Amino acid sequence: MKTFEERLQEKTRAAEAAVRNYLPEESGFQKNLIEASNYSVLAGGKRLRPLIMQAVYEAFGGIGAGVEPFMAGLEMIHSSSLVHDDLPCMDNDEYRRGKLTTWKKYGYDMAVLAGDDLLVEAFAAASHAMELGIRPELVVKGMRVLAQKAGIFGMIGGQSVDVELTGKEVLPDQLDFINRLKTGALLEAAMMIGCILAGGSEEEVKEMEIIASRIGVAFQIRDDILDVTSTTEILGKPVNSDEKNQKNTYVFLHGIQEAEQKVEEYSGEARERLAKVLPNDTFLIQLVEWLIHREK
Ligand code: GRG
């Protein structure tokens, strides 16, 4: 019997391979832009979103490679958000994952274009699911969720409120909204799409959305805690970045102790719901536990 760590490593490797499979060749007059895009995706990263998508797909009985194009697409969208998040007009960060951020390495202009490129190439990648045996109506459904969770009702919408409220007083409801959309929405996409492509019912997809939203908020609060308790060496990016950027975080509003309690509360609810909807799956429950106790 494999340990959780062995299964996690195996699934991370599978996610890594799926992502690499859909990256374009670096050639042509636009080679520099393609290099900048690929650099952003290949700079490291835990590959959480694609590995969660695949784990949910398998937990709902999905088999085969049909989920892989969506795994790659989702990771491209995640990478595009990190590229834009690091830009001088946003967080103005020079390091991520222990490497220079895309704009520091390729310039502000190329980084804006790389973020745009990854955002649209994600949908081109996802469309390949049709050739890999996923029914066309499920591919369209998956692509709709991908767009909705990335767009104004998802990650980009959450980021816009975060940007507007930076340096201003924020209400607890507003902060929850930001965390749920900015960070939670892509995790919702991961779990919902895994379920959709495996042929899950409307109710099951809805339940995945709720579970992922709780995991997403817990994940973001853990991120905020790490920003004040970890080190640059471990995180691969500057610590105390939220304070520098006058970011409203759960830690800033409520303190570390309450933030820790909130992480436990949200992740506990996610674990309970998972145990009900997927009683035979232990990996996802262990993954939630690992995610919220992660050190980077
Ligand atoms: C792409 C048009 C376009 C806009 C982007 C900047 C932006 C809009 C959104 C920001 C969203 C964001 C960066 C949220 C933070 C989410 C978060 C906690 C990311 C860290 O995720 P990990 O830990 O990172 O999975 P790794 O490095 O492991 O991939």
Q: What is the CATH number of the domain that holds 214?
A: 1.10.600.10
CB atoms within 10 A of CB 128: 19
Please give the share of the chain, as a percent, with pLDDT higher than 70: 100
Ligand 1 neighbourhood includes 97 CB (under 6 angstroms): yes
**Cβ of 180 less than 6 Å from ligand 1:** no
Question: Over the stretch 186-217, which tens digit does the pLDDT of each residue have?
Answer: 999 999 999 999 999 999 999 999 999 999 99
Structural domain includes residue 296: no
Which of 8, 39, 87, 155 best tests ligand 1's pocket when mutated (most atoms within 8 Å of CB)? 155
Q: Is the pLDDT of residue 153 over 90?
A: yes
Residue 222 lies in a domain: yes
Query: Do 169 and 202 form a contact (C-beta atoms < 8 A)?
Result: no
What's the number of domains the chain is made of? Answer: 1
Assess whether the C-beta atom of 186 lies below 6 angstroms from ligand 1.
no
Q: State the residue range of the domain holding 144.
A: 4-152+160-291
Q: Which residues of 246-284 are buried (b: 16+ CB within 10 A; e: fewer)?
A: ebbbbbbeeeeeebbebbeebbebbbeebeebbeebebb
Check: CB of residue 144 under 8 Å from CB of residue 134.
no
pTM of the predicted protein model = 0.95
Ligand 1 atom at minimal distance to the Cα of residue 159: 9
Answer whether 101 contacts ligand 1 (Cβ < 6 A): no
What's the full length of the chain, in residues? Answer: 296
Nearest to 90 by CA among 160, 177, 152: 160
Q: Which two tokens stand for residue 111?
A: 């980084």
CA of 1 to the centre of ligand 1 (A): 34
Residue 296 is predicted with a pLDDT of: 83
pLDDT at 243 over 90: no
Mean pLDDT of 219-247: 88
The protein residue with its alpha carbon nearest to ligand 1, atom 2, reads 116
15 lines ligand 1 (CB under 6 A): no
